[in-house]
Amino acid sequence: MGAFSAETEAFLRQAMERHSAMVYRLAYARTRNAADAQDVYQEAFLRLALCKREFADDEHVKAWLIRTTAHLSVHVVASAWRRRVTLVEYLPRGRESAPEEPSFVLHALRQLPPGDRTVLHLYYFEGMRAEDMARVLGKSAPGVRMRLTRARRRFKALLMEGGILDEED
């Protein structure tokens, strides 16, 4: 790393060891693109290295990284450059040309609004409780639970529309 003090390098190395996978997964879930997720990942850890804030503990660092990653991802997705260059994916509809389940599930996730993808990702992939998500996202716990319920409902509807789930599921 070289450009930072030994203390900053040790702090950054520890944060990367503990949280790099989570930061990348969240960035990818929000941007839906590996290159953009890598850019967000690098920027999030660069900002952490340059941050002058004192962190109370590792949970505080994790919360800061989640907020920063989510914020950076929004800017990447909204950028005019990305809107011009990204190609729209074509996915055939209907049972006669049913998509493969894993790719359609990923496609369905990508159709959800960023906030829905974030709460689903934090809950299912990071194992966060609603109370923890509320603290990290700056929302109320009941609000996060409602968002999670609505996100699940939207996701299920997309899977049913694509023929992956039946009414009974």
Whether the CB-CB separation of 119 and 148 falls below 8 Å is answered with yes
Question: Is domain 91-169 classified as CATH 1.10.10.10?
Answer: yes
pLDDT of residue 101: 52
**Answer CATH for 1-87 from 1.10.260, 3.30.365, 3.30.410, 1.10.1740:** 1.10.1740
> How much is the pLDDT for 102?
60
| Confidence check: pLDDT of 18 > 80 | yes
Confidence at residue 61, expressed as pLDDT on a 0 to 100 scale: 95
CA distance 148 to 113: 12
pTM: 0.57
State the average pLDDT over residues 125-147. 89
Residue span(s) of the chain under CATH 1.10.10.10 come to 91-169
